[in-house]
Amino acid sequence: LLPQELIRLKRDNQPLPAEEIKAFVQGIADDHISDAQIGAFTMAVFLNGMSREEVVALTTATRDSGHVMQWSDLNLSGPIVDKHSTGGVGDLVSLVLGPWVAACGAFVPMISGRGLGHTGGTLDKLESIPGYDPYPAPERFREVVKSTGVAIIGQTGDLAPADKRIYGVRDVTATVESIPLITASILGKKLASGLDALVMDVKVGSGAFMPTPEKSRELAKSIANVATQAGTPTTALLTDMSQPLAPCAGNAVEIVETLALLRGDRPNSRVMQVTRELAVEMLIAGKLAGSREEALTQLEKALTSGAAAEVFAQMVRELGGPSDFMERSEHYLAKADVIKPVYAEQAGTVQRIDTRAVGMSVVELGGGRLRNDASVDHSVGFTDIVEIGENVDSQRPIAMVHARSDAAAERAAEQLRAAFTIGEAAASADTLLQDTF
């Protein structure tokens, strides 16, 4: 079919044959299809949706539009597993999870992203570590995954190149918010790393990428079903993002928290509960554990023995970071010039948090990007953020702000006060793990 004929079929709500979707996506990767045709196609999909079979075809075609990693030649002693998340605020899960499951025998080739909108980026956080190279040569990446069990790096140009063009067009044609397109975009990239199994963390709440709980749920189901049908067994967890997941948000500050968590501090914090649930799914899907109990036992051991922390240290070392990073992280991580408490205007209990606003405030402090090519200030952000249900008063601040200047700290403090609803009533956080698909 000519591209315009495929577009016409979708425009008229007719089914698209899988092999025609494949040819169209290959044409996008080869530059045979124009941006105008991509835009017309994505708008037709946005308006008319896609059948499950069509989304599977779009996903596999996107995955196969570039290099698909192979691991069989390395004779790894365990499964290749990974996690992906729709992103959040104070969401440092990847940094703990990758080393933790690697310490239990899994191999995790994690391709991560930079901050997007109000959400933080795992790569930006890792780049707080001097020397850490998120773009190793492909062969080096494979070596580190083999020797360490985990490597967290950035996306290379030959990974699902069709998605790069499609996403760029969607961004400027009001076609981002389509569950079939989001599913194929996320999975097309993720499945190109040659995984045996995947877990997906789909967020719900005021800091989530999806605008409503219903849409989050729909995306979670779509991803789990499409990935599994495309040949990669996938479980999707629906988890709470109605407040920052860790009590901090930023880059270096989240690395500090990561190290504490890997050392076994705060094992029952909200972020560790989510991380543990995802880890259990990964160990079971990768057949490293036969049951939830077995997985929990292995995870507990990997944490308390120091094995998980050692894997993180080795990953940092292998990817160019300091060899004594764990022992001397304070020496290596940038500190903000101004660190001060943010107090609420009245004493009371935290009722609600506008988590997106907290994330945007980190971006404005310089911890994220307002433009694609902007640089990130690794030192800024918030720490000691109170949770929903906790009390604040003139002694207990909402958070500590880390900023470049007094003026920036003051602006962020105003934004933070506006993002927190303080009241008289008792309040409790939403359930952390809301569903599994």
Length of the chain: 437
Q: Which is nearer to ligand URA, 125 or 190 (CB)?
A: 190
Q: Which is nearer to ligand URA, 5 or 171 (CB)?
A: 171
Q: Which is nearer to ligand URA, 177 or 390 (CB)?
A: 177
- Residue 173 near residue 46, CB atoms below 8 Å: no
Q: Which is nearer to ligand URA, 46 or 312 (CB)?
A: 46
Transcribe 119-153 into DSSP letters. B--HHHHHTTSTT--S---HHHHHHHHHHHSEEEE
Q: Which of 81, 427, 358 is nearest to 208 (CA)?
A: 358
Q: CA-to-CA distance for 186 and 183, rounded, in angstroms?
A: 5
Q: Which is nearer to ligand URA, 108 or 181 (CB)?
A: 181
Residue nearest to ligand URA (CB): 185
The H-assigned helical ranges of 103-245 are 122-126, 138-148, 161-171, 179-190, 213-229
Q: CA-to-CA distance for 62 and 187, rounded, in angstroms?
A: 8
- Residue 426 near residue 349, CB atoms below 8 Å: yes
What radius of gyration, in Å, describes the C-alpha atoms of the chain?
Answer: 22
CB of 223 to ligand URA, least distance (A): 11
Q: CA-to-CA distance for 180 and 192, rounded, in angstroms?
A: 18
CB of 320 to ligand URA, least distance (A): 26
Give contact residues for ligand URA (rule: CB under 6 A).
Answer: 167, 176, 181-182, 185-186
CB of 241 to ligand URA, least distance (A): 14
Catalytic residue positions? 82-85, 122, 170, 185, 189-190
